[in-house]
Structure formats: C-alpha cells, structure tokens
Amino acid sequence: MVTRVRPALLVVDVQNDFCPGGALAVTNGDKVIEPLNELIRLFDKDHRLIIFSRDWHPRETKHFAEFGGKWPAHCIQHTLGAGLHPQLVTPAKAYIISKGYGKTDDGYSPFEGVYFRYSDWPLSLQVLLRNVTELYIGGLATDYCIKAACLDARKLGYNVYLLTDACRAVNLKPGDEALALSDMANAGVKFITTDEVLREFESS
C-alpha cells in the first residue's frame, strides 16, 4: 500500500513584535513575509492545511526578564505586538496555534501550543496534523522557535522541510543560526527554498 503524501504549511510567529519596530525585532524579520505569502496562497488554492503559530504570553511570565527570564516583554495577549503581521496573508480557514500562554512556560515550540476553539476543548498541533506526512516550516526565528518546531516535528516522525529563504535568526550569540541549522540538519530536516516548493507543487 502506497502512503499518500499530505503536506501542510506551518508559519511560525510572524508577529508584529518580532518584525522591525517591534519589542523583540528580528533583523529583517519582515523579509520572510513575501516568500511565505507565495506559499500560503498556493496551499490555500490547493486546499492544503495552513497553520500559523503565535507567541501569546501573559503580562507576567517567567519568560520575561523582569520576572526572571531572558527576554524583554513581547507578544502579550490581546496587544498589537502579539498580532500577526498585517502584510501576512491569513486565509479564513487557516488555524492559529497559541503558545507560551502560561506563566511558567517559554513556549518555543508550536507543538507545545494549542488551537483554541470557542465551544470545545483546545486542540494540539499534533491533532491538527493527524493526516499530515510532510511539514513545510518558515517564519521567526531560526535559532529558537523555528528550530524547536523542526526538531519536535522530526521526533514525531514528520518529513520536515525548512524554508531557508523564509526564516531569519535572532543570533543572540554569534553563530547561533549556524548551530541551529546544523542541529536541524543532523535531525533529518531538509532545506529547501520557497521557489523550489512552488515549482515542485505547480508541476505535480
């Protein structure tokens, strides 16, 4: 029996606070938006699964420096900074995974987050991906949430493709991005560009 390939697109944390002018801006963070939008439109047109993740921190959390963590306050629930970037295409049928919403969790990986539904229990990312075999991942930032997403996805058995032109790194320490890419490659993550995905999908 041949297993049918079921791809999904995971767009990680392309939020206002991680883009230029935000509270924890990643250098050139907004440059991921254009290539991601190309894939979002393609996946939407082909009725493929699209999932956005977002940091969704409470005002007081050990994730923030003022409460013992390492980061300035960012992506606080229901603030403009926590919103997805306005230039990002967000189809109505896409899902949004919220992570880091507790007072004690960092929430780097989208697999630690949930999709909140108004009338039911929240759903995990793994549940949303129950029919998926291939996961394409891009967004912010390469050396933190992207890395965590890719490594967790590999542990769970997904074929993972990192969109190298659609992610950017924090590089809190020099070499963090290179180390993250090495860790992902060693875990079996495949590197690909959005143009390569577009050509592959449009020819299939």
Is 145 an annotated catalytic residue? yes
Q: Is residue 1 part of a domain?
A: no
Domain assignment of residue 66, yes or no: yes
Given a cut of 60, whether residue 4 has pLDDT beyond it is no
Considering the domain boundaries, does residue 22 fall inside one?
yes
Do the domain assignments include residue 72?
A: yes
- Strands lying side by side in the sheet with 49-55: 123-124, 114-115, 95-99, 49-55, 7-12, 134-140, 159-168, 190-192
Q: Give percent of the chain with pLDDT exceeding 70.
A: 97
Domain boundaries, position 149:
7-203
d(C-alpha 94, C-alpha 115), whole Å: 11
Task: Name the pTM for this structure.
Answer: 0.95
Average pLDDT, the chain: 95
The DSSP bridge pattern shows strands 123-124 and 114-115 to be antiparallel
167 catalytic? Reply is no
Residue type, 71: W
Task: State both tokens at 83.
Answer: 């919103």
Candidate list 17, 99, 106, 143, residue with the active-site label: 99
Per-residue pLDDT, 119: 63
Q: Is 190 a catalytic residue?
A: no
Mean pLDDT to the nearest integer, 111-117: 92
Classify residue 2: in a domain, yes or no: no
Q: What is the pLDDT of residue 1?
A: 34
pLDDT at 125: 96
pLDDT of 32 > 90? The answer is: yes
Sign of CA dihedral 113, 83, 195, 182: negative
Residue type for position 188: G
Query: CB count, 10 Å around CB of 146?
Result: 32
17 within some domain:
yes
Q: What angle do CA 170, 123, 81 make, to 5 degrees?
A: 35
Residue 151 in this model has a pLDDT that exceeds 90: yes
Q: Please tell me the predicted confidence (pLDDT) of residue 2.
A: 38
Per-residue pLDDT averaged across 15-23, rounded?
98
Q: At what angle do helices 147-155 and 176-186 cross, to 10 degrees?
A: 10
| pLDDT at 3 (0 to 100) | 47
Task: Say which of 19, 145, 150, 167 is annotated catalytic.
Answer: 145
Quick check: 73 pLDDT over 50?
yes
* Rounded average pLDDT over 38-49: 96
- Output the domain CATH number for residue 161: 3.40.50.850
Count of domains observed in the chain = 1
Helix/strand/coil percentages in the chain, nearest 5: 35, 25, 45
**Predicted local confidence at residue 120, as pLDDT:** 73
Phi-psi region of 33 (alpha: psi -120 to 50; beta: other; left: phi over 0): alpha
pLDDT at 109 over 70: yes
pLDDT of residue 204 exceeding 80: no
